Amino acid sequence: MDQPTTVKPSLLVRITQFAPLRLLVLGGILFLFMGVSSGVMEKFAGQPVLATVAAAVMAGLGVAIYAAFVRLIERRPVSELSLAPLARELGIGLLIGAGLYTASVLVLMALGIYRIVGFNPVSFMVPAIGMALSSGFFEELLFRGALFRIVEEMFGSWISLVVSSLVFGLLHLLNPAATLTGAIFISIEAGVLLAAGYMVTRRLWLSIGFHVAWNYTQQGVFSGIVSGNAPVPGLIKPIIEGPDALTGGSFGLESSLVAFLFCTTAGVILLILSVRRGNVVAPFWKRRTTAS
């Protein structure tokens, strides 16, 4: 009986499918466009409505570039950006992200550290929209869609979780008033939470929702410092007085023990759900052993 023949992929196809090369190319493209998006945001800094429109357009372009790369180079459906669950998963992510930040502020209010002394006009909430869209979409496409996913293909979920979290946190040292403590905290609390959001659904929408809502609520509502960047007033006029361990100091609330506790706990819960759903990927050497 004749055995079915399999067509061996061409050398060019095998080269383009090489995981480290895909990570380098896709990551480089997304990093470049993230820089372009930041430049566009700076250009429209005094025009918040135009900045919001520009950020939305750039975010859409980032998604399109990512999807085109996956379809043309990886030659597979873009399941991590499936449109069917977009509204539900993005909505849940937005609610949880805003809820985690609000819960952290409520703890500080109960301790007398965060005090509301007034309110700005509602228009002060607009500038944060563009910032949140740009950072939320591009950073999730880059760090979870490219870095976490492709490293996971090679070394499995747990090693990828460590690698992507460390890279994500340490790159925040490039921010103006960044601190090592803040970068380490982000590596753990945000790195785990955002990667777990991807693992539990195998899509990016939940993580994008977390990221966008946290950044927006932080700046647009509570006038907080976002990851060591210059503070921008939002809706609430606060006075924040207390130890850096609780306020986060110059880095912002991400560097506080309160946010660390809430976000890390949420991330661990999602990791447990990922394990229970069988969404943990083994490293390639264990997959080969199982297959044989």
Per residue in 183-233, pLDDT (tens digit) is: 999 999 999 999 999 999 999 999 999 999 999 999 999 999 988 888 889
Token readout for 212 is 């966008």
Which residues, listed in sequence order, are joined to residue 255 by a DSSP beta bridge? Answer: none
pTM value?
0.92
Residue 6 lies in a domain: no
Confidence at 152, pLDDT banded by 50, 70, 90 = very high
Domain presence at residue 7: no
- Looking at residue 38, its pLDDT comes to 86
Which of 27-31, 79-83, 173-177 comes out lowest in average pLDDT? Answer: 173-177
Distance CA 231, CA 52 (A): 18
pLDDT reported for residue 236: 96
Q: Is residue 135 part of a domain?
A: yes
Q: Helix count (H) and strand count (E) of the chain?
A: 12, 2
Q: Whose CA is closest to 135, among 211, 82, 220? A: 211
**Measured between alpha carbons, how far is 167 from 179 in angstroms, rounded to an integer?**
15
For residue 79, the enclosing domain spans 18-286
The burial class, CB within 10 Å (0-12 / 13-18 / 19+), for 262 is buried
CA dihedral (237, 247, 191, 73) positive or negative? positive
- Token pair, residue 158, equals 């747990």
Continuous H helices in 248-283: 257-276
Considering the domain boundaries, does residue 13 fall inside one?
no
Q: Give me 161's structure tokens.
A: 């979780």
Q: Does residue 221 contact residue 122 with C-beta atoms inside 8 Å?
A: no
181 vs 253: CA distance, rounded Å: 12
Q: What is the mean pLDDT of residues 174-188?
A: 89
Q: What is the overall mean pLDDT for the chain?
A: 92
User: Does 4 map to a domain?
Assistant: no
- E-strand spans in 59-122? 114-119
Q: Six-digit token pair at 66?
A: 């990512």
* Number of domains making up the chain: 1
Residue 1 resides in a domain: no
Residue 178 has pLDDT above 90, yes or no: no
Quick check: is 10 in a domain?
no
* Position 65 confidence tier, pLDDT thresholds 50, 70, 90: very high
Query: Is residue 8 assigned to a domain?
Result: no
The Cα 72–Cα 222 span in angstroms is 42
Axis crossing angle, helix 19-43 with helix 48-69, rounded to the nearest 10: 170
